[in-house]
């Protein structure tokens, strides 16, 4: 009896040493359990010892040297057992099972010991004392391990929190969350499901939150901001900040066990990550807003430089391409009831597929008077699949639609909502500049154009001749007068007389074409200036005018023409516009006095 009691005291002493070692140096739990099993074998003088831990309503063999292997089930726990646990179970003379419990009486583990011979076991009282000491040891070492695990986890949480507060880069933050999870739960699987995030994370277990395909538990976690259990081994924790929820952390436990401590750690990590992610996103958003404001400010400044319409649109196209990385950009203006695609638009808009996009946007904007933002229009109309991402913003001035801008991308969902709002602001600030440029060009056209004939005005032709005499080698001026025009007014009336002037103007403009400028000189007199053309070419054009006009006018009229030229290397030619006009006018006077309906060259 003394020997038995001594063995029991020695066993308890060794258990105390193991607990002390675990508490003082933080020894590995697996190593401590191995040492304990060795002590058990020595104390009970047995050949084999098997330890089974209770998890998820069943017992699984503890296999420290078989990581990743499938545990062996010893027995399933029944409700009856949980209520009234068996402490010691003798199967036969060679085997005993010790049933250990947690402090609340729920199942903890089973120790199965075996002897190869049939020597008698110690009496029941001693076995019960052995069970009690072992049960206390497992409870204590389990508690110590829980404390050590919690300490390790929260140490990692503290470290990662420091990193979270020292960086504003979203990618760095999320990578750190993954690394922390790997450190704390090395055998578990986890994924980050992020909403509204277009970062490329490569091989990391991070992907977009698919609202259409997400399971109910993940959706509940995202919507309610609470931890939710999916299948029995999956947990969903929201990445929650103060202003919103940015995704869900999905944890799949390989141990089939989510303890309260583990759930609490996951909750804290997800909350910390959510707050840090929110701060990083707000920082990115503030930088983006600053960039957007700089863009709008730069654009507004540039557009206030009184650029021509083509320069204005070209600048806008450059800014939009830089900000949105668009595949195609189109500008459409409403002019005199007709939609015109501006030349500065991307080439695709002048093809059939581009016109389909213009037609679609035009119809939507006319009906809704609102901007368009679609991630995938592939099935909306024929050819839309070539540019599935589309944004469009109307140009509205004084509540009147004056046009719209269309931005396309070859990949679906390539434009963010922030880009859409920026485009709206961008076009809103640019519309006035486009309107001003259009009105300015109309005004310029009115200043340099004769209202009735739509030919150039005399002062514009004077400027062109002045410019030509400064840069060209030679040029020819034709002064043309409609013969007997007073009789046209007397016989047909002034309205017909105006129509004759318009008809003659259009015919002359067609004959001259790209060779020069046609202007109304005054009354029934017209002028043609032919830069870089000499006397021979000028005579050919003048004679064709004299010949064709009587044949193509109704009532038929004839013309008289005076021609003069200048040459940079000829000292006898006119050296100024005034001299050139004087020579042509003298030649016209001779044509009139010599019988009309003819061309007369200057005396040179």
pLDDT digits (tens, 9 = 90+) for 165-222: 666 677 777 777 777 777 777 767 878 888 766 556 667 777 777 776 778 888 888 8
Q: Is residue 588 one of the residues assigned to a domain?
A: yes
In a domain, 392, yes or no: yes
130 & 15 share domain: yes
- Same domain membership, residue 592 and residue 487: yes
Query: Does position 502 have pLDDT exceeding 90, yes or no?
Result: yes
Mean pLDDT of 378-407: 87
Instruction: Supply the pLDDT for residue 70.
Output: 41
Domain of 47, CATH number, reads 3.30.450.40
Residue 157 in domain = no
Q: At what angle do helices 494-512 and 535-552 cross, to 10 degrees?
A: 140
Residue 134 lies in a domain: yes
Least confident of 227-236, 277-286, 535-544: 277-286
Determine which of 83-87, 315-319, 501-505 has the lowest per-residue pLDDT on average: 83-87
Give a yes or no: residue 156 inside a domain.
no
Q: How many domains does the chain have?
A: 4
Strand-pairing partners, residue 60, are 53, 73
What is the model's pLDDT at position 288?
65
Decide if 402 contacts 333 (C-beta within 8 A). Answer: yes
In 56-185 the beta strands, taken as DSSP E runs, fall at 58-61, 73-76, 88-92, 95-101, 107-114
Percent of the chain with pLDDT over 70: 78
- The reply to whether 399 and 340 lie within a common domain is yes
- What is the rounded end-to-end Cα distance, in angstroms, of the chain? 150
pLDDT tens-digit map of 395-438 = 888 888 889 999 999 988 888 888 888 888 888 877 877 777 77
Judged against a pLDDT cut of 80, whether residue 150 lies above it is answered with: no
Are residues 352 and 265 part of one domain?
no
**pLDDT (0 to 100) of residue 565:** 93
pLDDT at 588: 93
Final residue before a domain boundary, out of 445, 470, 505: 445
Residue 30 or residue 509, greater confidence:
509
Q: What are the tens digits of pLDDT across the range 289-304?
A: 666 566 666 666 666 6
Choosing from 148, 175, 205, the residue where a domain stops is 148
Q: Which residues of 331-350 are buried (b: 16+ CB within 10 A; e: fewer)?
A: bbbbeeeeeebbebbbebbe
Asked if the structure places residue 247 within a domain, the reply is yes
49 token code pair: 């010892």
Q: Is the pLDDT of residue 273 over 80?
A: no
User: Has residue 556 got a pLDDT over 60?
Assistant: yes
- Cβ contacts of 420 within 8 Å, gap of 6 or more: 371, 373, 391
Closest CA to 9 of 53, 58, 43, 51: 43
Residues 312, 273, single domain; the answer is no
94-103, 159-168, 369-378: lowest mean pLDDT where? 159-168
| Residue 232 and residue 323 in one domain | no
| Domain interval for residue 364 | 304-445
Give the confidence band of 538 by pLDDT, cuts at 50, 70, 90. very high
d(CA 113, CA 89): 11
**Does residue 88 lie within any of the structural domains?**
yes
Average pLDDT over residues 437-459: 76
Same domain, yes or no: 417 and 439: yes
pLDDT digits 0-9 by tens, 456-483: 888 888 989 999 999 899 999 999 999 9
- Do 138 and 186 share a domain, yes or no? no
Is pLDDT at 528 greater than 90 in this prediction?
Answer: yes
pLDDT, position 67:
39
- Calculate mean pLDDT across residues 521-525: 89
Scanning the structure block, which residue is given the tokens 């969902």? 413
β 107-114/48-55 pair status: antiparallel
User: Rounded to an integer, what distance in angstroms lies between the CA atom of residue 600 and that of residue 604?
Assistant: 11
Q: Give the least confident one: 230-244, 353-367, 538-552.
A: 230-244
Q: Give the end of a domain, one of 233, 248, 283.
A: 283
pLDDT at 557: 93
Q: Check which CATH number belongs to the domain holding 580 and give it.
A: 3.30.70.270
Q: How confident is the model at residue 232 (pLDDT cuts 50, 70, 90)?
A: low
Q: Does residue 548 lie in a domain region?
A: yes
pLDDT band at 540 (very low <50, low <70, confident <90, very high): very high
Could you report the per-residue pLDDT of 46-80, keeping only the tens digit for each?
878 888 877 766 777 766 554 334 444 455 444 44
C-alpha closest to that of 131 among 95, 86, 93: 86
Residue-wise pLDDT tens digits, 316-356:
888 888 888 889 999 998 877 788 898 889 999 999 888 89
Residue 19 has pLDDT above 80, yes or no: no
Domain shared by 580 and 462, yes or no: yes
Mean pLDDT computed over 225-253: 81
Q: Same domain for 411 and 463?
A: no
Chain mean position to CA 194: 15
* Cβ-based neighbours of 168, under 8 Å, separated by 6 or more: 279, 280, 283, 284
């Amino acid at each position: 009896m003394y020997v038995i009691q001594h063995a029991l005291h020695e066993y308890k002493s060794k258990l105390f040493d193991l607990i002390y070692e675990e508490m003082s140096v933080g020894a590995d739990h697996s190593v401590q359990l191995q040492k304990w099993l060795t002590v058990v074998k020595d104390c009970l003088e047995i050949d084999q010892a098997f330890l089974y831990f209770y998890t998820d309503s069943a017992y699984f063999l503890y296999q420290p040297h078989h990581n990743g292997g499938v545990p062996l089930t010893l027995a399933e726990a029944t409700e009856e057992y949980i209520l009234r646990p068996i402490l010691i179970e003798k199967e036969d003379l060679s085997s005993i099972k010790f049933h250990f419990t947690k402090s609340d009486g729920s199942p903890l583990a089973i120790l199965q010991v075996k002897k190869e011979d049939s020597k008698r076991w110690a009496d029941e009282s001693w076995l019960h004392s052995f069970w009690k000491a072992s049960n206390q040891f497992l409870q204590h070492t389990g508690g110590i391990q829980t404390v050590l695990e919690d300490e390790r986890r929260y140490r990692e949480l503290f470290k990662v929190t420091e990193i979270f507060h020292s960086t504003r880069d979203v990618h760095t933050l999320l990578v750190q969350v993954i690394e922390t999870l790997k450190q704390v739960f090395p055998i578990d699987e986890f994924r980050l499901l992020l909403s509204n995030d277009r970062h490329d994370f490569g091989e990391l277990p991070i992907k977009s939150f698919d609202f259409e395909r997400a399971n109910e538990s993940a959706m509940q976690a995202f919507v309610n901001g609470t931890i939710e259990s999916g299948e029995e081994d999956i947990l969903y924790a929201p990445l929650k900040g103060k202003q919103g929820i940015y995704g869900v952390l999905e944890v799949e436990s390989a141990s089939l066990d989510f303890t309260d401590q583990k759930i609490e750690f996951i909750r804290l990590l997800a909350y910390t990550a959510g707050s840090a992610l929110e701060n990083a996103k707000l920082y990115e958003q503030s930088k983006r807003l600053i960039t957007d404001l700089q863009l709008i400010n730069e654009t507004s400044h540039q557009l206030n430089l009184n650029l021509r319409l083509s320069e204005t649109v070209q600048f806008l196209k450059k800014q939009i391409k830089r900000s949105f990385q668009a595949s195609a950009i189109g500008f459409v203006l409403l002019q005199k009831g007709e939609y015109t695609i501006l030349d500065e638009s991307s080439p695709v808009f002048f093809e059939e597929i581009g016109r389909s996009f213009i037609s679609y946007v035009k119809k939507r904007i006319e009906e809704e008077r609102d901007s368009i933002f679609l991630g995938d229009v592939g099935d909306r109309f024929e050819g839309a699949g070539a540019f599935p991402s589309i944004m469009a913003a109307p140009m509205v001035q004084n509540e009147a639609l004056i046009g719209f801008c269309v931005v396309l991308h070859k990949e679906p969902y390539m434009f963010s909502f922030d880009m859409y709002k920026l485009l709206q602001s961008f076009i809103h600030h640019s519309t006035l500049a486009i309107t001003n440029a259009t009105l300015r060009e109309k005004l310029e056209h009115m200043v340099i154009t004769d209202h009735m004939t739509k030919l150039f005005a005399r002062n514009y032709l004077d400027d062109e001749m002045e410019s030509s005499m400064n840069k060209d080698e030679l040029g020819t001026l034709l002064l043309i007068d409609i013969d007997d025009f007073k009789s046209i007014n007397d016989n047909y009336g002034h309205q017909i007389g105006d129509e004759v002037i318009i008809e003659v103007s259009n015919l002359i403009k067609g004959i001259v074409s790209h060779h020069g400028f046609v202007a109304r000189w005054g009354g029934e007199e017209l002028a043609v200036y032919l830069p870089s053309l000499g006397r021979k070419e000028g005579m050919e054009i003048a004679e064709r005018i004299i010949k064709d006009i009587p044949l193509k006018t109704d009532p038929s009229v004839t013309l008289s023409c005076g021609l003069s030229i200048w040459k940079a290397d000829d000292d006898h030619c006119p050296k100024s516009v005034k001299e050139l006009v004087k020579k042509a006018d003298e030649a016209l006077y001779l044509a009139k006095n010599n019988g009309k309906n003819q061309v007369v060259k200057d005396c040179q």
